[in-house]
């Protein structure tokens, strides 16, 4: 079945540091890939997505590129802020399938 | 636009009690799912539905029932609550089209079983 493996956390960075959270996946076909973010006490919300190979999703300074050859979708940000502290989930959704598959989440803490 | 609405936000149950967690969406999405989130375990899929009248089990379905009589609503029933069901529950929906695959989540229901 489909699976998503995320870099284990927690991750602690200083403000303005570079962020990478690794994500690799296993799936049949060509799923869409996502990063979701969860702030304390809230539900998950979409951060960015990519629907086909070599697409780059971007939002709020975060980026991730759909790499079919390495089955990866790593999340990056050049300069993190304290407000980026949250839990980040990598996920995939196959086309026309009811189930999405999520990674275990990576907790990011950014210190001033 | 309300999106996905879950009720209640908080609930305390005694062991053996039953209850229904409500989930409603106003985006005309075909796909709906229930997840539970426990510390260190990410999101685990309980049940999901691909349309009205069609449901299927996820990876942790035991102790939970669902039904989908309308496109909008997807309630989750706890038949006889156990302390192991203490968790945060999230409902999500998404569309069926090729460019419509992102999931929209409710705010969650924090359930404690004592």
pLDDT by residue (tens digit) across B3-52? 999 999 999 999 999 999 999 999 999 999 999 999 877 899 999 999 99
Taking the CA of residue A45 and the nearest CA in chain B, the distance in Å comes to 7
pLDDT surpasses 70 at B77: yes
Residues of B in CB contact (< 8 Å) with A are: 4, 30-31, 33, 35, 40-43, 45, 48-50, 56, 58, 90, 92, 94, 96, 98-99, 101-108
Calculate mean pLDDT across residues B97-109: 82
Are A100 and A91 within 8 A, CB to CB? yes
Predicted local confidence at residue A82, as pLDDT:
97
- At A44-95, the pLDDT tens digits run 999 999 998 999 999 999 999 999 999 999 999 999 999 999 999 999 988 7
Predicted local confidence at residue B1, as pLDDT:
65
Listed in sequence order, the residues at least 6 apart from B18 whose beta carbon sits closer than 8 Å to its beta carbon are: B77, B78, B79, B80, B81
Q: Contacts of residue A51 in chain B, CB cutoff 8 Å? A: 98-99, 101
pLDDT surpasses 90 at A98: no
Are A31 and A24 within 8 A, CB to CB? no
CB pairs A-B closer than 8 Å: 63
Q: Please give the radius of gyration of chain B, using alpha carbons only, rounded to the nearest integer.
A: 13
Q: Contacts of residue A32 in chain B, CB cutoff 8 Å? A: 101-102
Q: Quick one: which of B107, B82, B78, B110 has its CA closest to B11?
A: B110
DSSP letter at B84?
A: G
Give the three-class secondary structure for A103.
Answer: coil
At B83, phi and psi to the nearest 5? -55, -30
Mean pLDDT of chain A: 93
HSE (side-chain half, CA atoms, 13 Å) at B10: 1
Q: Quick one: which of A1, A22, A3, A8 has its CA closest to A92?
A: A3
Predicted local confidence at residue B98, as pLDDT:
61
At B24, phi and psi to the nearest 5? -140, 140
A89 with B105: Cβ contact below 8 A: no
DSSP string for residues in B12-79: EE-TT--EEEEEEESS--SEEEEEEE-TTS-EEEEEEEEETTEEEE-S--TTEEE--SSSSB--EEES
Listed in sequence order, the residues at least 6 apart from B69 whose beta carbon sits closer than 8 Å to its beta carbon are: B52, B53
Give the residue with greater pLDDT, A41 vs B54. Answer: B54
């Amino acid at each position: 079945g489909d699976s998503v493996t995320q870099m284990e956390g927690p991750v602690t960075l200083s403000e303005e540091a570079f962020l990478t959270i690794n994500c690799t996946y296993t799936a049949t076909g060509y799923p869409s890939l996502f990063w979701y973010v969860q702030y304390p006490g809230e539900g998950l919300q979409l951060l960015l997505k990519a629907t086909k190979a070599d697409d780059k999703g971007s939002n709020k300074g975060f980026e991730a590129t759909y790499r079919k050859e390495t089955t990866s979708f790593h999340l990056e940000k050049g300069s993190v802020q304290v407000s980026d502290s949250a839990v980040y989930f990598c996920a995939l959704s196959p086309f026309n399938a009811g189930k999405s598959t999520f990674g275990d989440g990576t907790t990011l803490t950014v210190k001033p | 636009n309300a999106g996905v609405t879950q009720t209640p936000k908080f609930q305390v149950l005694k062991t053996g009690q039953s209850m229904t967690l409500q989930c409603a969406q106003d985006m005309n999405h075909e796909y709906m799912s229930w997840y539970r989130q426990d510390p260190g375990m990410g999101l685990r899929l309980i049940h999901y539905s691909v349309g009205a009248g069609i449901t299927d089990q996820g990876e942790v379905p035991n102790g939970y029932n669902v039904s989908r009589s309308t496109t909008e609503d997807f309630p989750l029933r706890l038949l006889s609550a156990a302390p192991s069901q203490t968790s945060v529950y999230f409902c999500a929906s998404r569309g069926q089209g090729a460019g419509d695959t992102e999931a929209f989540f409710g705010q969650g229901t924090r359930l404690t079983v004592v």
